[in-house]
């Protein structure tokens, strides 16, 4: 690394260096932060007599036997207690006796039953006998190759291939062992060849568990920040933060991998040196007392020991990221315990929590569409702990690619989009609520009216059903009428479910199958009626029967298909003639099919249009826009709510809309949907499955099983996809995060699952393959 220096010529090593007044003062800053338990995921132990020739570095000043006892003393001086265990490895130096170093490691592990060890390995074509003899030791869990043993010069520029033999990768894969890798080269984790090898080996050897030491050698923080994003989809990779004294590389790991992949490590005995590693220029510098001359600079420089400097960096990252105590405990020990199988991992936390939820939360969830019973009862994970792009992790740490409804179509850019999150974080940091109003609501209104020149006003709420209710209230206020004609799904409110009251009790629940109007006042009977999308005659009958009583016609301009030519124009003309407001519900299809909404593409302007879901990309925001005449109703009627004045929603919407426009996301997701459909069609035909497709929009790709056991096939499809790491059903909301490589992974899974389903159908044993009940049926949308 350019500009780096080594930890040479350091003051005498002391196992209790952290008890000096200077270090104690800094430790006091960490009061309340340090955990009650620690597992050190990166610590070196050694006998100085095994170094040949003897060293002139600080290691020569260490105790002859610098073992686990010494490590415990040093850690106790920091944490106030002796850690019970750690992940230990020999200390690497050129010319050291690897066999003796490993023998010492084994001897030490035998005295520390709660610890694990990594064997030092040479660059040889086959596993040496002196390594093989220790591989069955119950506390040995993997390997620690070192760049010092590379055959390339200079070793600081050594390629990974030059110091990690192939047999190490192969054995780690076969036996689920760990490889801890200290990469080098000037760019470290940003080096293209390093990234290529890491991705290649992790994909080729999925049984292997790779720990990238020192935050992917993030001593130059920008290297980790630049390179880590390309590793995000690799599941068998972890990071220790040993020796890292800046928060930036830790933040980069948290951002791309979350807290579950980060391991605290001390880098003992480096941990005991008074020094701090800092990013300088395009390299890094270990700033030590003999490097900074206080007589020549106008500052007082007294570094704490590396262990404390590293803890300060972790605290800064934890505070910036907003991690919880549970997250912090996992970083200090929980993640290592899970990785190393030290304690029995709690399984089924996701399903168990849902069982608890069903007792205390009526219905189990807040949204019918998110109930596991809608997909694969007893199998579909009800909860997520992390979501990024189109990837989610459940409470048990299981990873899935979301090839299903993707937040019920709310995250068109993908989960936790970087640009939206950045804008929202800024707003939260500056304050998101006040006695005053957020200026962003004005900016958002201006942007929406710019996109929709026919509209002259905008009002905001925070969810789709809410904004539909606002639009209906506006229509009733403007027309002084009550009746609403409905075509589609528009939420749970009384005005909508009143359509399901029917003309009499015998028709209750008939028109909108699956939506029970229980609790809706029967006095609202005959305030709403329905018609089926695309049926011009049905619409005309509604107009003929209720025309002068109708305040509004609310409908989705389209959902899965374009309307028949002239259909929307006919509705527009008839509503205008009779003084009925036309409301287009763009909550689901808007932005997805076309930037700004499908009605712009279809060339028919309503009186009011409503938006939600994708407009905030996972953050609550909804809008109604309308003509000047229509929006008069928003002034005349009392429509008001406290949380409609918070600022996160408008900020998220502005950032989302900007990105949707800049990247032409509607075009991208349409192309991605075409690719998914092609996989379904190709393998459906190849395996002669009874799958049926229509000419629907690829952005909401879907298919049907034309079979007497269609629900069973749908459930089994989901079950088999879950086993392969995909949340999937017979419909999919595409997002910007569904890149070609992820869709190709899904395509491979589609081939496997369709093949299995075809075999089960032929064998007639479909129902024998279920691991849970058949999924429930949803509700009818009239589309």
pLDDT tens digits, residue range 116-175? Answer: 999 999 999 999 999 999 999 999 999 999 999 998 999 999 999 999 999 999 999 999
450 within domain boundaries? yes
Query: What residues contact residue 657 under an 8 Å CB cut-off, 6+ apart?
Result: 447, 451, 591, 615
Decide: helix, strand or coil at residue 326. helix
Q: Is the pLDDT of residue 507 over 70?
A: no
Global confidence as pTM: 0.92
pLDDT for 14 beyond 50: no
What was the pLDDT predicted at 512?
64
One DSSP character per residue, 662-685 reads HTTHHHHHHHHHHHHHHHHHHHHH
Q: Where are the beta strands (DSSP E) in 366-431?
A: 386-388, 391-393, 399-403
Lowest mean pLDDT among 57-61, 389-393, 642-646, 764-768: 57-61
Which pLDDT value is given to residue 293? 59
Q: What is the mean pLDDT of the chain?
A: 93
Span 618-647, average pLDDT: 97
Whether 164 and 222 share a structural domain: yes
Q: Do both 45 and 150 map to the same domain?
A: yes
pLDDT of residue 504: 62
The CATH number covering residue 407 comes to: 3.90.1150.10
Same domain, 162 and 187: yes
Task: State yes or no: pLDDT of 16 exceeds 80.
Answer: no
pLDDT score at 292: 59
Look up residue 199 and give its two tokens: 């991705």
Residues 499 and 381 in one domain: no
Two structure tokens written together for 771 = 């691991």
Specify if 732 maps to a domain: yes
Residue pLDDT, tens place only, 688-741: 999 999 889 999 999 999 999 999 999 999 999 999 999 999 999 999 999 999
Q: Please say if the pLDDT value at position 780 is more than 70.
A: no
Q: How many domains does the chain contain in total?
A: 3
Torsion (CA) 350, 354, 360, 365 in degrees, nearest 10: 110
CA torsion, points 242, 244, 247, 248, in degrees to nearest 10? -110
- Lowest-confidence segment of 67-71, 97-101, 223-227, 287-291 by average pLDDT: 287-291
**Cα diameter, the chain:** 100
Final residue of a structural domain among 637, 662, 687 = 662
> What share of the chain in percent tops pLDDT 90?
86
Distance, CA of 122 to CA of 391 (rounded, Å): 38
Task: Compute the average pLDDT of residues 414-433.
Answer: 98
In a domain, 7, yes or no: no
For residues 545 and 516, membership in a common domain is answered with: yes
Predicted confidence (pLDDT) at residue 13 exceeds the cutoff of 60: no
What does the alpha-carbon distance between residue 108 and residue 62 come to, in Å, rounded to a whole number?
17
Instruction: Please determine, for residue 506, whether its predicted confidence score (pLDDT) is greater than 60.
Output: no
Grade residue 503 by pLDDT with cuts at 50, 70 and 90.
Answer: confident
Average pLDDT over residues 648-669: 99
CA dihedral 371, 372, 375, 377 (to 10 degrees): -130
What average pLDDT does range 416-431 have in this prediction? 97
Q: Same structural domain for residues 529 and 572?
A: yes
- pLDDT given at position 514: 75
- The yes-or-no verdict on residue 644 having pLDDT over 80 is yes
Residue 87's pLDDT band, with cuts at 50, 70 and 90, is very high
| pLDDT score, position 49 | 85
Within-domain flag for 9: no
pLDDT at 500: 87
Instruction: Please say if the pLDDT value at position 510 is more than 60.
Output: no
Instruction: Report the pLDDT averaged over residues 199-205.
Output: 98
pLDDT recorded at residue 3: 40
Write out the residue range of the structural domain in which residue 753 sits. 351-415+665-769
Determine, yes or no, domain membership for 456.
yes
More confident residue, 14 or 778: 778
Final residue before a domain boundary, out of 600, 629, 662: 662
What confidence score (pLDDT) does residue 60 get?
Answer: 77
pLDDT bracket for residue 648 (50, 70, 90): very high
CATH number at 161 reads 3.20.20.140
Asked if the model's pLDDT at residue 358 lies above 80, the reply is: yes
C-beta neighbour count of 124 within 10 angstroms: 12
pLDDT of 9 > 50? The answer is: no
- For 298, 437, 782, the CA distances from 645, given in Å and listed in that order, are 50, 6, 34
Please tell me whether residues 173 and 319 are part of one structural domain. yes
For the chain, the C-alpha Rg in angstroms (whole number) is 31
Q: How far is CA 109 from CA 67, 69, 73, 154, in A?
A: 10, 11, 16, 34
- 685 and 702 in a single domain? The answer is yes
- CATH number, domain containing residue 612: 3.40.640.10
Distance CA 590, CA 95 (A): 66
pLDDT in tens, 467-489: 999 999 999 999 999 999 999 89
Q: Sorting pLDDT into bands at 50, 70 and 90, what band is 275? A: very high
> Is pLDDT above 60 for 7?
no
Any domain includes 138? yes
Q: For residues 81 and 72, what is the distance between their CA atoms, to the nearest angstrom?
A: 8
The pLDDT of residue 672 is above 60: yes
Q: What is the pLDDT of residue 302?
A: 79
- Specify the pLDDT at position 421: 98
Confidence band for 11, pLDDT divided at 50, 70 and 90: very low
Contact (Cβ atoms closer than 8 angstroms) between residue 623 and residue 585: no
> Residue 663's Cα: distance from chain center in Å?
21
In which element (H, E) is residue 445 found? helix 440-451
Q: In this predicted structure, what is the pLDDT of residue 54?
A: 62
Mean pLDDT across the stretch 660-667?
A: 98
pLDDT greater than 70 at residue 429: yes
Cis amide bond preceding 16, omega within 30: no
What distance in Å separates the CA atoms of residue 485 and residue 493, rounded to the nearest whole number? 15
Which of 662, 691, 716 terminates a domain? The answer is 662
Same domain, 232 and 184: yes
Separation CA 239–CA 216 (nearest Å) = 7
Q: Cα(88)–Cα(240) distance, rounded to whole angstroms?
A: 13
Tens of pLDDT, residues 439-453: 999 999 999 999 999
Local structure of 325: helix, strand or coil: helix
For residues 680 and 612, state if they share a domain: no
For 579-602, write each residue's pLDDT tens digit: 999 999 999 999 999 999 999 999
pLDDT at 288: 79
User: Does residue 764 contact residue 757 with C-beta atoms inside 8 Å?
Assistant: no
Q: Is the pLDDT of residue 515 over 90?
A: no
Per-residue pLDDT at 502: 76
pLDDT at 55: 65
pLDDT for position 505? 58
Does 576 lie in the same domain as 697? no
Are residues 754 and 692 part of one domain?
A: yes
Q: Has residue 403 got a pLDDT over 80?
A: yes
Give the mean pLDDT of 279-306.
78
Neighbours of 28 (CB within 10 A): 8
Q: Is residue 691 part of a domain?
A: yes
Judged against a pLDDT cut of 60, whether residue 277 lies above it is answered with yes
Q: Residue 370 domain-assigned?
A: yes
What pLDDT is recorded for position 300?
67
Contact 214, 242 (CB under 8 A): yes
């Amino acid at each position: 690394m350019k500009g780096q220096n080594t930890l040479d010529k350091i003051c005498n090593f002391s196992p209790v260096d952290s008890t000096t007044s200077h270090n104690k003062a800094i430790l006091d800053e960490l009061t309340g932060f340090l955990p009650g338990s620690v597992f050190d995921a990166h610590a070196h132990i050694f006998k100085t007599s095994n170094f040949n020739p003897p060293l002139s570095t600080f290691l020569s000043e260490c105790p002859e036997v610098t073992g686990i006892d010494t490590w415990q003393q040093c850690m106790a001086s920091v944490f106030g207690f002796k850690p019970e265990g750690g992940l230990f490895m020999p200390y690497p130096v050129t010319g050291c006796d690897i066999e003796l170093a490993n023998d010492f490691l084994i001897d030490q592990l035998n005295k520390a039953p709660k610890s694990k060890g990594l064997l030092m390995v040479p660059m040889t074509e086959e596993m040496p006998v002196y390594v093989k003899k220790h591989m069955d030791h119950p506390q040995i869990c993997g390997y620690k190759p070192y760049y010092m043993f590379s055959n390339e010069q200079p070793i600081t520029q050594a390629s990974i291939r030059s110091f990690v033999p192939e047999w190490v990768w192969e054995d780690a894969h076969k036996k689920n062992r760990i490889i801890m890798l200290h990469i080098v080269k000037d760019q470290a984790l940003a080096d293209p060849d390093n990234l290529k090898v890491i991705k290649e080996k992790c994909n080729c050897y999925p049984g292997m568990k790779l720990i990238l030491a020192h935050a992917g050698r993030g001593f130059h923080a920008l290297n980790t920040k630049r390179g880590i994003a390309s590793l995000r989809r690799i599941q068998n990779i972890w990071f220790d933060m040993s020796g890292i004294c800046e928060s930036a590389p830790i933040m980069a790991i948290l951002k791309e991998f979350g807290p579950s992949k980060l391991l605290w490590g001390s880098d003992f005995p480096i941990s005991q040196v008074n020094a701090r590693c800092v990013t300088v220029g395009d390299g890094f510098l270990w700033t030590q007392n003999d490097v900074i001359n206080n007589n020549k600079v106008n500052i007082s420089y007294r570094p704490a020991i590396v262990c404390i400097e590293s803890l300060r960096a972790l605290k800064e990252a934890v505070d910036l990221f907003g991690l919880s105590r549970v997250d912090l405990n996992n970083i200090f020990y929980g993640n290592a315990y899970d990785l190393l199988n030290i304690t029995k991992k709690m399984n089924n936390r996701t399903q168990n929590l849902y069982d608890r939820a069903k007792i205390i939360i009526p219905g189990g969830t807040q949204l019918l569409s998110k109930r596991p019973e809608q997909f694969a009862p007893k199998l579909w994970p009800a909860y997520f702990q992390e979501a990024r792009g189109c990837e989610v992790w459940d409470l048990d740490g299981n990873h899935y690619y979301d090839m299903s409804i993707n937040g019920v179509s709310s995250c068109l850019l993908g989960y936790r989009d970087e640009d939206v999150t950045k804008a929202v974080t800024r707003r939260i940091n500056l304050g998101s609520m006040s006695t005053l109003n957020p200026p962003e609501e004005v900016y958002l209104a201006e942007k929406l009216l710019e996109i929709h020149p026919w509209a002259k006003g905008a009002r905001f709420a925070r969810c789709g059903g809410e904004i539909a209710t606002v639009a209906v209230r506006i229509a009733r206020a403007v027309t002084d009428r009550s009746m609403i004609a409905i075509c589609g799904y528009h939420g749970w409110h009384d005005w909508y479910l009143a359509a399901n009251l029917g003309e009499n009790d015998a028709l209750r629940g008939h028109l909108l199958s699956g939506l029970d109007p229980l609790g809706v006042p029967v006095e609202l009977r005959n305030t709403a009626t329905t018609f089926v999308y695309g049926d011009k005659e049905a619409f005309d009958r509604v107009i003929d029967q209720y025309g002068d009583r109708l305040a509004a016609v609310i409908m989705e301009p389209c959902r899965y298909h374009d309307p028949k030519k002239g259909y929307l124009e006919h509705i527009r003309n008839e509503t205008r003639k009779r003084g009925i407001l036309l409301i287009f519900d763009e909550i689901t299809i808007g932005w997805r099919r076309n930037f700004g909404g499908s009605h712009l593409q279809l060339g028919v302007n309503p009186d009011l249009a409503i938006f939600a879901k994708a407009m905030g990309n996972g953050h609550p925001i909804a809008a109604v826009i309308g003509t000047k005449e229509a929006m008069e109703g928003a002034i005349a009627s009392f429509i008001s709510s406290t949380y409609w004045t918070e600022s996160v929603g408008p900020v998220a919407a502005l950032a989302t809309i900007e990105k949707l426009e800049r990247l032409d996301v509607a075009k991208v997701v349409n192309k991605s949907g075409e690719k998914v459909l092609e996989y379904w069609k190709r393998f459906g035909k190849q395996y002669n499955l009874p799958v049926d497709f229509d000419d629907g929009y690829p952005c909401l790709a879907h298919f049907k099983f034309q079979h007497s056991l269609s629900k069973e096939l749908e459930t089994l499809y989901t079950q088999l996809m879950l086993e392969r790491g995909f949340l999937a059903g017979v419909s999919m909301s595409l997002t910007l995060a569904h890149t070609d490589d992820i869709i190709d992974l899904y395509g491979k899974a589609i081939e496997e699952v369709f093949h299995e389903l075809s075999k089960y159908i032929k064998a007639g044993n479909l129902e024998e393959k279920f691991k849970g009940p058949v999924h429930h049926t949803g509700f009818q949308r009239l589309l």
